[in-house]
């Protein structure tokens, strides 16, 4: 093979791999308006439909060597049915999609068993269908009704078929080969479904955990999570400092420019605070325009450096709203863990110092009971 042919073959392989990856992503991407709590069920069923289509296609290719054209046609019909179910599923017609898949697959299994005879391994797929139904996101009544239907078809087919002669005269000779193929196929598909279910569940749980601990607007820690960080340090008896910040004249921004502009300002402030913190510091939003920074193992000089860095970041990068520039500053109150007997008292001390900073003219830090401290911007 020439170098040009080898390069062309490698390029074709890459394009095919890219096409399969795009198909997989397209089939699994949930619509944007779908709530997060429904995305797990949606993605699981999307991947089941796609896996079923690819599985029936691969099975049809295997059967080519066994010269079983009718069973091959049944599998190709299942490929089309699962593709239709996937399209319905993407349109959020979930029950109709599942009904199409289950109906066509049950018909295919019943005809295959009647065509070849029992004990060829096709009965294993009834168990696979039942597993797919149980892990789906369908309602309880639908699951019960469809599970009863699967069980009824399985019992009727496996009970009546031994009483009749298989439609394929030499089907019995292929029982052992087909039984091994079907058993391997069921375990492969079931294992793949379980693996994808685990991956999707882990990703959804990560999103749920993040939503439970982070502020939706600014993506920093929310009030409960940032107080939990401080509480852990307190119970570990580690020294830390709380820096409570409040955006100056924020109500005026909301009144003059609207709440959408106010949200943009809050996101800008959160990004500025992130850029000013040390690696082990923690940032959270505790109120409308109030933020709390937890600084573990920090001395007075460390806190002053962080405060100065915050003011410098805001001075260098004021908030931009289209053509409008909004300079925003912070009033800050500081309290160290060794200044009070309990964590609520430390928080209350930082809060009182924050309001002293506002009363003293804003855009400054109060860290003691005397005068406000000027931090160099």
- Tell which residue, 358, 359, 364, 339, has the closest CA to residue 349: 339
Helix (H, G, I), strand (E, B), or coil: what is residue 298? coil
- What does the alpha-carbon distance between residue 295 and residue 305 come to, in Å, rounded to a whole number? 12
- H/E element, 345: helix 343-359
Handedness of CA 183, 184, 189, 194 (dihedral sign): positive
- What does the alpha-carbon distance between residue 52 and residue 58 come to, in Å, rounded to a whole number? 10
Catalytic status, residue 299: no
**CB-based contacts of 72, cutoff 8 Å, min separation 6:** 60, 63, 64
- What does the alpha-carbon distance between residue 189 and residue 23 come to, in Å, rounded to a whole number? 18
Helix (H, G, I), strand (E, B), or coil: what is residue 325? strand
Which one-letter DSSP state was computed for residue 138? -
Q: List the catalytic residue out of 43, 132, 264, 289.
A: 289
Residues with active-site annotation: 289
């Amino acid at each position: 093979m020439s170098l040009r042919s080898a390069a062309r073959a490698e390029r074709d392989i890459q394009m095919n791999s890219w096409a399969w990856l795009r198909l997989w992503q397209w089939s699994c991407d949930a619509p944007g308006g779908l709530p997060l709590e429904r995305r797990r069920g949606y993605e699981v069923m999307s991947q089941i439909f796609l896996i079923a289509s690819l599985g029936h296609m691969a099975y049809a290719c295997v059967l080519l060597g066994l010269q079983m054209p009718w069973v091959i046609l049944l599998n190709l019909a299942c490929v089309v049915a699962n593709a239709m179910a996937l399209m319905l599923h993407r349109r959020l017609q979930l029950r109709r999609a599942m009904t199409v898949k289950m109906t066509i697959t049950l018909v295919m299994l019943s005809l295959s068993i009647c065509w070849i005879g029992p004990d060829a391994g096709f009965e294993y797929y009834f168990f696979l269908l039942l597993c797919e139904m149980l892990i789906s996101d369908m309602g309880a009544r639908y699951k019960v009704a469809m599970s009863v239907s699967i069980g009824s078809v399985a019992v009727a087919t496996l009970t009546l078929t031994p009483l009749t002669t298989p439609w394929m005269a030499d089907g019995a000779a292929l029982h052992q080969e087909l039984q091994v193929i079907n058993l391997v196929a069921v375990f492969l598909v079931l294992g793949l479904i379980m693996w994808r279910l685990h991956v999707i569940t882990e990703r959804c749980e990560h999103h749920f955990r993040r939503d439970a601990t982070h502020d939706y607007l600014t993506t920093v820690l929310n009030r409960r999570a940032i107080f939990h960080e401080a509480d852990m340090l307190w119970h570990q008896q580690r020294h830390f400092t709380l820096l409570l910040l409040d955006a100056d004249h924020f109500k005026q921004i909301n009144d003059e420019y609207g709440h959408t502009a106010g949200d943009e300002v809050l996101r800008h402030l959160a990004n500025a605070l992130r850029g000013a913190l040390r690696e082990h510091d923690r940032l959270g939003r505790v109120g409308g325009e109030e933020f709390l920074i937890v600084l573990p193992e920090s001395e007075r000089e460390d806190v002053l450096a962080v405060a100065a860095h915050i003011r410098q970041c805001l001075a260098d990068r004021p908030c931009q709203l289209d053509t409008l520039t909004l300079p925003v500053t912070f009033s800050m109150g500081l309290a160290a863990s060794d200044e009070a007997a309990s964590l609520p008292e430390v928080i209350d001390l930082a809060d009182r110092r924050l309001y002293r900073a506002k009363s003293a003219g804003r855009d400054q830090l109060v860290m003691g009971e005397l005068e406000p401290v000027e931090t160099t911007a």
